Structure 1
Amino acid sequence: MTGGRWLRDLRFSLALLGPLGGMRSIPVVPEQTVRDLWPGDAAKGERLVQGTASHDGEVRRLHAGHWSEPDWPEDFRDWLQGFEWLRDLRELGSDSARARARVLVASWIQQPIADTPLQNPAITGARIASWLSHYDFFAASADEPYRRALMHRVVLEARTLMALLPTDRHDWTVLQALKGLLAAAIAIPGQTGFLSRYMKLIDPELERQILPDGCHASRSPGAQLRVLRELAEMRLMLQSTRIPMPTSLASALDRMAPVLRAFRHGDGRLALFNGTCFHSPALIDLVIARAMPRGHVLARSMKDGRFGRAASGNTVLLVDGGSPAADYPDLAHAGFLSMELSSGRSQIVVNCGSSPKKGWHEALRDAPAHSVLSIPAFPPMTWRNDGQIETCPKVNYRHTMSDTDHLIELESDCYRPAGVETYHRRLFLAREGADLRGEDRLDCKGDTPEFVLRFHLHPLIRVELEETDILLHTHDEVWRFRSDGYSSIEESMYFGGPTPVATQQIVVRPAEIEPEQPAYEAPSSAEEATAEQTYVEDVSVQEEEIDSSPAESVSSDSKEPIASAPPSDEETHVEEPLSTEAEVREPELPPPPRLASAIRWAFTRLDE
Structure 2
Amino acid sequence: MSNSDTMTNRWTRFQNRLYARLSQRRKAVTGFVGEPEPRTVGSFARGRQLVAGNLLFAGYLVEAQDTNLWDVVAPSKGFDDERHGFAWLDDLAAVGDMRAREKAQRWVWGWIEAHGRGHGPGWAPDLTGRRVIRWINHAVFLLRGRNETQQELFFRALAQQTWFLSKRWSAATPGLPRFESLAGLVQAGLALEGLEQMADPALRALARECEKQIDQKGGISTRNPQELLDVFTLLAWTSAALSDLGRGTPGAQSNAIKRMAPTLRSLRHSDGGLARFHGGGRGVEGRLDQALAQSGVRPNHATGLAMGFARLYAARTSVIVDAATPPKGAASFNAHASTLAFELTSGRRPLIVNCGAGGSFGSEWRRAGRATPSHSTLCLDGYSSARLAPPAPGTENEALVDAPQDVPVDFEEAFEGTRFMVGHDGYAKVFGLTHARTFELRFDGRELTGEDILLTATDKSKRQFDKALDASGMKGIGFDIHFHLHPDVDAAIDLGGAAVSMALKSGEIWVFRHDGVGKLSVEPSVYLEKGRLKPRATKQIVLSGRAMEYATRIRWTLSKAQDTAYAVRDLHRDEPEFD
Compute the TM-score of the two structures, normalised by the length of structure 1: 0.77
Query: Does the 8 Å CA contact 1:399/1:406 hold for their aligned counterparts?
Result: no
Which residue pairs with 1:505 in the alignment? 540
Which residue pairs with 1:479 in the alignment? 511
Instruction: Give the number of aligned pairs.
Output: 523
Which residue pairs with 2:168 in the alignment? 164
What is the DSSP-based 3-state SS (H/G/I as helix, E as strand, rest coil) of the residue aligned with 2:408? strand
Instruction: Find the aligned partners of 2:530 and 2:153 in 1 and give their Cα distance.
Output: 42
Residues 1:158 and 1:598: Cα distance change in structure 2 (over 3 Å): same
- Matching of residue 389 in structure 1 with residue 400 in structure 2: yes
Per-residue CA shift, 1:70-126, capped at 9, x if unaligned?
Answer: 552222211211222223333333334333322222222224624243542111111
- Matching of residue 365 in structure 1 with residue 365 in structure 2: no
Which residue pairs with 1:587 in the alignment? none
What is the DSSP-based 3-state SS (H/G/I as helix, E as strand, rest coil) of the residue aligned with 2:455? strand
Which residue pairs with 1:399 in the alignment? 410
Structure-to-structure mapping, 1:321-340, within 5 angstroms: 321-326=323-328, 327-340=330-343
Query: Does the 8 Å CA contact 1:27/1:188 hold for their aligned counterparts?
Result: yes
What is the DSSP-based 3-state SS (H/G/I as helix, E as strand, rest coil) of the residue aligned with 1:267? coil
1:409 to 421, 446, 467: 421
- Matching of residue 54 in structure 1 with residue 56 in structure 2: yes
Which residue pairs with 1:379 in the alignment? 384
Instruction: Find the aligned partners of 1:486 and 1:14 in 2 and give their Cα distance.
Output: 62
- Matching of residue 457 in structure 1 with residue 459 in structure 2: no
TM-superposed deviation, 1:44: 4.1
Which residue pairs with 2:562 in the alignment? 607
Query: Does the 8 Å CA contact 1:427/1:439 hold for their aligned counterparts?
Result: no
TM-superposed deviation, 1:595: 9.4
Query: Does the 8 Å CA contact 1:32/1:186 hold for their aligned counterparts?
Result: no
Q: What is the one-letter code of the residue matched to 2:92?
A: L
Query: Does the 8 Å CA contact 1:306/1:322 hold for their aligned counterparts?
Result: yes
TM-superposed deviation, 1:245: 0.9
Structure-to-structure mapping, 1:563-582, within 5 angstroms: none
Per-residue CA shift, 1:413-464, capped at 9, x if unaligned?
Answer: 2113422242222333346443413122132431352221112223324333
Which residue pairs with 1:354 in the alignment? 357
- State the Cα RMSD in Å: 3.1
Instruction: Find the aligned partners of 2:537 and 2:128 in 1 and give their Cα distance.
Output: 38
1:152 to 153, 156, 168: 156
Query: Runs of 5+ in structure 1 lacking a partner?
Result: 514-593
Larger mean Cα displacement after TM superposition, 6-15 or 120-129? 6-15
Residues 1:98 and 1:507: Cα distance change in structure 2 (over 3 Å): closer
TM-superposed deviation, 1:482: 1.1
2:304 to 301, 314, 336: 301
TM-superposed deviation, 1:12: 6.8
Q: What is the one-letter code of the residue matched to 2:62?
A: R
Instruction: Find the aligned partners of 1:512 and 1:256 in 2 and give their Cα distance.
Output: 41
Q: What is the one-letter code of the residue matched to 2:343?
A: E
What is the DSSP-based 3-state SS (H/G/I as helix, E as strand, rest coil) of the residue aligned with 1:427? strand
Give the % identical residues: 25
- Matching of residue 113 in structure 1 with residue 125 in structure 2: no
TM-superposed deviation, 1:224: 2.1
Residues 1:148 and 1:235: Cα distance change in structure 2 (over 3 Å): same
Per-residue CA shift, 1:442-498, capped at 9, x if unaligned?
Answer: 324313522211122233243332135214334224434113222222121223597
Which structure's residues are more often helix, by fraction?
Answer: 2
Q: What is the one-letter code of the residue matched to 1:198?
A: A
Query: Does the 8 Å CA contact 2:31/2:193 hold for their aligned counterparts?
Result: no
Residues 1:496 and 1:191: Cα distance change in structure 2 (over 3 Å): closer
Instruction: Find the aligned partners of 1:512 and 1:492 in 2 and give their Cα distance.
Output: 24
Larger mean Cα displacement after TM superposition, 279-288 or 257-266? 279-288
Which residue pairs with 2:496 in the alignment? 467
Residues 1:33 and 1:128: Cα distance change in structure 2 (over 3 Å): farther
Q: What is the one-letter code of the residue matched to 1:408?
A: F
Query: Does the 8 Å CA contact 2:213/2:220 hold for their aligned counterparts?
Result: yes
Per-residue CA shift, 1:552-608, capped at 9, x if unaligned?
Answer: xxxxxxxxxxxxxxxxxxxxxxxxxxxxxxxxxxxxxxxxxx797332333344435
Larger mean Cα displacement after TM superposition, 465-474 or 158-167? 465-474
Residues 1:341 and 1:118: Cα distance change in structure 2 (over 3 Å): closer
TM-superposed deviation, 1:189: 4.5
Residues 1:55 and 1:101: Cα distance change in structure 2 (over 3 Å): same
- Matching of residue 206 in structure 1 with residue 210 in structure 2: yes
Compute the TM-score of the two structures, normalised by the length of structure 2: 0.81
Query: Does the 8 Å CA contact 1:41/1:88 hold for their aligned counterparts?
Result: yes
Instruction: Find the aligned partners of 1:280 and 1:125 in 2 and give their Cα distance.
Output: 19
Residues 1:496 and 1:240: Cα distance change in structure 2 (over 3 Å): same
Instruction: Find the aligned partners of 1:72 and 1:270 in 2 and give their Cα distance.
Output: 29
- Matching of residue 489 in structure 1 with residue 515 in structure 2: no
Instruction: Find the aligned partners of 1:150 and 1:413 in 2 and give their Cα distance.
Output: 56
TM-superposed deviation, 1:291: 3.1
Query: Does the 8 Å CA contact 1:510/1:598 hold for their aligned counterparts?
Result: no
Higher relative CO (Cα under 8 Å, sequence separation at least 6) belongs to 2
Structure-to-structure mapping, 1:23-34, within 5 angstroms: 23=26, 26-34=28-36
Which residue pairs with 2:230 in the alignment? 226
What is the DSSP-based 3-state SS (H/G/I as helix, E as strand, rest coil) of the residue aligned with 1:285? helix
Larger mean Cα displacement after TM superposition, 230-239 or 162-171? 162-171
Instruction: Find the aligned partners of 1:270 and 1:208 in 2 and give their Cα distance.
Output: 24
Which residue pairs with 2:321 in the alignment? 319
- Matching of residue 419 in structure 1 with residue 431 in structure 2: yes
Larger mean Cα displacement after TM superposition, 197-206 or 164-173? 164-173
Residues 1:168 and 1:376: Cα distance change in structure 2 (over 3 Å): farther
TM-superposed deviation, 1:147: 1.6
Instruction: Find the aligned partners of 2:439 and 2:557 in 1 and give their Cα distance.
Output: 9
Which residue pairs with 2:200 in the alignment? 196
